């Protein structure tokens, strides 16, 4: 019984660690302020905001992650789609009251 509990705890610890690694692999702008993070189960989600414009944040991700597989939107709303290993990354940007809302979702 103890071996089963120990094995379960090890698996849960590894799963939580690998899930967190998915979000930590997505760079954030220097002035990013986090408002929500769900890193314990897929889909992984992190939201927050930056004082930079949608265009500047999109340029940041272009420099850090390269050319997205798909881009949708314009200068006030934009969604960038990336693939990293077995993960799919969606970064949504939305201009709101002199700041850019950033929503990151990582799925398998």
The alpha helices in 1-108, defined as continuous H runs, are 2-24, 54-65
How far, in Å, CA of 39 to CA of 24, rounded? 10
Predicted local confidence at residue 3, as pLDDT = 52
Q: What is the pTM of this model?
A: 0.79
Q: Where are the domains of the chain?
A: 2-107
Instruction: List, for residues 12-68, the tens digit of each pLDDT value.
Output: 444 433 444 588 889 999 999 999 999 888 899 999 999 999 999 999 999 999 999
Instruction: List, for residues 65-108, the tens digit of each pLDDT value.
Output: 999 999 999 989 999 999 988 899 999 999 999 999 999 999 98
């Amino acid at each position: 019984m103890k071996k089963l509990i120990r094995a379960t705890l090890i698996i849960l610890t590894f799963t939580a660690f690998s899930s967190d690694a998915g979000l930590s692999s997505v760079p954030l702008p220097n002035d990013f302020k986090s408002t929500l993070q769900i890193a314990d189960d897929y889909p992984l989600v992190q939201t927050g905001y930056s004082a930079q414009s949608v265009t500047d944040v999109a340029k940041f991700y272009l420099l850090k992650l390269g050319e997205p597989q798909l881009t949708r939107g314009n200068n006030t709303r934009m969604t960038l789609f990336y693939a990293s290993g077995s993960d799919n990354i969606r970064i949504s940007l939305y201009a709101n009251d002199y700041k850019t809302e950033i929503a990151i979702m990582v799925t398998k």
